[in-house]
A and B are shown apart, each in its own frame.
Chain A
């Protein structure tokens, strides 16, 4: 073995590496580090990023925050938690970011959250839904914007409790989000209506559903109602097989997130009519801030907003409000500011709760109908997230490490 060339090559690569890793001089902008799975979840991150851009335009057009323009640096973590942490470190120490935000996958969100607590960086988890993020694994430096699994499942359970269905079947992807969503729905429904029973629980592997078999298994259990947590391609396959085989005839179906444009639109004229779902009826706003947001979004990007667009937009608004309230970009000051922070958003005022750092951002609940060959939500109403969170005592128990 003659290692010279190897080593020369390595040394050269190394030298280039070090020269490119030079320190970054913080400029006159406030930089936010945004980490997401831009490629893995392209259909969700694209509207999300647009929402961010729209809010940045508005804020910087009005003079920025603390007199400085707000700037986002977007980085792709390939959906890997380890990669996300490396990027987080780089954003904070080299690019001069003042705080971190982003991620859709719960596991990546949890990794960044733990890292943020260790290094004392502020992290606003925009989209990850896992309950653990603010409860079991909650910490001082992590805040979460979106209505969590628990909140959205409780909203559906509330509707379900009003019907006379007793026997329920559930179908959810076989991973933490699916399990949380089923557990939360069961708990909320049993609390409201103790006589319900769950006759079968189906757990297809994420994005590998065998829809025909799942439909047969549910049919076999003869439930009165079905609770669905599948989404994306799994949802499309489940809906198609279920409709074809008549699974949904005469049964109430509750779909978590099913009404979000990202999931409902690909179904086109096969959208499951009659399902009660959480989602985002952007097409139905007649006036008010919701309408203003939708119009501005469509004017800028010439496409419909998704739920991700709304989340991205509110993320930026929350950050701007937090930094303004803190009066500086010092982490401890920002953390203090985010506790109990009120933010004006298109869907009304939200509050980042002091006790568990969860925002009270709510969700829309409605019934799926068809209009012009497309699925929409009708008879929808907006549910304030504040009403679907556990009591403070329960939160204290759920959040052992919280201060």
Chain B
């Protein structure tokens, strides 16, 4: 009995940091609709700044002032980020801002490395709270008790701020309908900045307050990211009590999971999230999302058309050049282009459901990885020939997409995105954990193509055939009745249903199709590299694809391909520099601010202005 109570206390103490960071994320999302990937970076900065302050400020007073000051300092950093990076892109399409925040992550990572150096630091213990007290005979650290007491206090302050003050009223109003708040004369820009300050401050506090239980290191930004998203989603996006309940739920379950099923540490919270979302689609305390934000933000989209003669000639010319590469390019040029085509195909498959279907998936790597793993498993376990494994890979990935799609289709918007993330994470942890079958994180190696394809040049042509073929197929499908039905389902579910389109089924089919194409790119990948590891199923891989689509242009047909190809190419160049993350982050932010319609959208506009191409109405 004593042990169980002590475990409960451990869980409650762990919930403190999680709640502080997640509540900030939840507030920011609720008001600004920004999915702030950089929130983990704010948390990391809070820890490092708090650590530095604690070296200077002595004693108990110094410790707690350091925590507060670290929070405020991070709040100011949040304001800087909001004003410099996010303000210019509020008018961009929904979710576009997450690309900007991804750039911020990269910049902060390198700046933190420059400032604090590469070594992990161990946080100082809290003066006056170093020991333990015995509760029912079990040792409980005093600092844990302090954390348990502080969290409800913070929750109360936030609750008071949100429900009893004028600022809180405005924040709540903006959460419900930010356009109306703007119409009533409230300065939205400053409201957003204020919320960003508050959210970043909370993340900073979270980082600083966990110092006595850990420390600060350069990986902590990404390490907490998945957990806080899970907490926010379980609690309901925008709900503070929800964030608290979810943080406690996750932390307490985790403590018992550690004791009774020690192998569960990787997946437990994603299982909980999937269950909660399947039962309560909008989280425990969340409200149904208002779809489409009362119409799309930004410019209306132009209808897509098949490429004209001139376009076809140019594409054909480009293909001829690509086909000639082995005759004049180096060996490495072929390897690089192979990589780029594979990634472009993967990005294009996500673009198909995101751009045309309006389905934002945060877990698309699951299908890329499924394809790669199906092929690799067939080769290593069934010793099947490469050709058969290659053919079955897209089918396997498509099958996975059919199942996951069926489970996720009941949700929309960000909740749909989070559910795809949860399932992607489940597949990842399955592969990671099931070492005997999948090789765990030692992966599957020696998966090389058949003899007739083995060699850089033959495989280059193979990739060209299937990669470009896949991209053209996606394009072609966009112009079929199925493609039109998909876009109709995205733009207006009601009108589409009225014309007899079964929108859910169309979206489900599109999801499966995109999954199969992602699986094709995964199969191309595994035979070009000769090995596959769970890294290909990771969140980071999904985010990579998401980011290039936004950079390329969500509302254009070529966005996925162009974004994927240009970023992969830029990366190959930029990663040669020592501080490449800083450069890449700045580049992303730069593109985001200069070209909110993405590379394709922006260059098309530029072309129209100078008369190179005619605009949508046929004018030149």
Can you report 22 A-B residue pairs in the complex whose CB atoms are below 8 A from each other?
A: A5-B612, A6-B600, A42-B118, A85-B530, A93-B331, A93-B332, A107-B533, A110-B443, A111-B533, A114-B531, A176-B442, A204-B258, A208-B227, A210-B251, A212-B10, A212-B14, A213-B255, A213-B258, A220-B259, A233-B120, A233-B217, A240-B213
Cα distance A6–B561 in the bound complex, in angstroms: 10
**A368 CB to nearest B CB, Å:** 15
Residues of chain A lying within 8 A (CB to CB) of residue B454: 118
Q: Chain B, 451-467, contact with A by CB distance < 8 Å: what is the 0/1 string?
A: 00010100000000000
Closest-by-CB residue of B relative to A268 is B122
In the complex, the answer to whether A1 meets B333 with C-beta atoms within 8 Å is: no
Cα distance A202–B223 in the bound complex, in angstroms: 20
Taking A107-B535, A203-B265 as known contacts, 17 extra A-B pairs with beta carbons closer than 8 A to each other, sorted by chain A number, are A3-B315, A10-B565, A39-B110, A46-B118, A107-B442, A110-B531, A115-B530, A118-B454, A137-B445, A202-B258, A203-B262, A208-B223, A208-B227, A214-B258, A233-B219, A236-B215, A240-B214
Q: Given A203-B262, A204-B265, A220-B259 in contact, is the A81-B535 Cβ separation under 8 Å?
A: yes
**A250 CB to nearest B CB, Å:** 14
A61 within 8 A of B: no
In the complex, the answer to whether A6 meets B262 with C-beta atoms within 8 Å is: no
B562 within 8 A of A: yes
Q: Chain B, 313-343, contact with A by CB distance < 8 Å: what is the 0/1 string?
A: 0110010010001001111110110010000
Among A5, A85, A267, the residue within 8 A (CB) of B606 is A5
Contact residues of A with B, CB < 8 Å? 1-11, 13-14, 17-18, 20-23, 38-40, 42-43, 46, 75-76, 78-83, 85-86, 89-90, 93-94, 106-107, 110-111, 113-115, 117-118, 130, 132, 137, 174-176, 179, 200-205, 207-208, 210-214, 216-217, 220, 232-233, 236-237, 240-241, 244-246, 262, 265-268, 270
In the complex, the answer to whether A42 meets B336 with C-beta atoms within 8 Å is: no
Q: Chain B, 260-294, contact with A by CB distance < 8 Å: what is the 0/1 string?
A: 00110110000000000000000000000000000
- Which one of A6, A113, A114, A211 has the highest number of Cβ atoms from chain B below 10 Å of its Cβ? A6
Q: Given A23-B330, A233-B217 in contact, is the A81-B262 Cβ separation under 8 Å?
A: no
Q: Which of B374-395 contact A (CB under 8 A)?
A: none
- Which one of A114, A117, A212 has the highest number of Cβ atoms from chain B below 10 Å of its Cβ? A212
Main secondary structure on A side of the interface with B: helix
Q: Given A111-B445, A130-B442 in contact, is the A7-B314 Cβ separation under 8 Å?
A: yes
Residues of chain A lying within 8 A (CB to CB) of residue B612: 4-5
Among B14, B311, B318, the residue within 8 A (CB) of A14 is B318
B218 within 8 A of A: yes
Residues of chain B lying within 8 A (CB to CB) of residue A233: 120, 214-215, 217, 219-220
Q: Which of B301-309, B499-507, B510-518 contacts A (4 or more CB under 8 A)?
A: B301-309
B157 within 8 A of A: no
Closest-by-CB residue of B relative to A111 is B531
Cα distance A9–B607 in the bound complex, in angstroms: 11
Q: Which of B435-479 contact A (CB under 8 A)?
A: 435, 440-443, 445-446, 448, 454, 456
**B137 CB to nearest A CB, Å:** 12
Contact residues on B (Cβ < 8 Å of other chain), bracket:
35 or more
In the complex, the answer to whether B445 meets A21 with C-beta atoms within 8 Å is: no
**A115 CB to nearest B CB, Å:** 6
**A228 CB to nearest B CB, Å:** 15
Closest-by-CB residue of A relative to B210 is A237
- Which one of B122, B315, B318, B613 has the highest number of Cβ atoms from chain A below 10 Å of its Cβ? B122
Q: Which of B130-174 contact A (CB under 8 A)?
A: 130-132, 138-139, 141, 144
B599 within 8 A of A: yes
B190 within 8 A of A: no
In the complex, the answer to whether A217 meets B333 with C-beta atoms within 8 Å is: no
In the complex, the answer to whether B265 meets A205 with C-beta atoms within 8 Å is: yes
**B13 CB to nearest A CB, Å:** 7
Residues of chain A lying within 8 A (CB to CB) of residue B424: none
Q: Which of B82-90, B400-408, B569-577 contacts A (4 or more CB under 8 A)?
A: B569-577
B254 within 8 A of A: yes
In the complex, the answer to whether B120 meets A9 with C-beta atoms within 8 Å is: no
Closest-by-CB residue of B relative to A171 is B262
Q: Chain B, 212-231, contact with A by CB distance < 8 Å: what is the 0/1 string?
A: 01110111100100010000
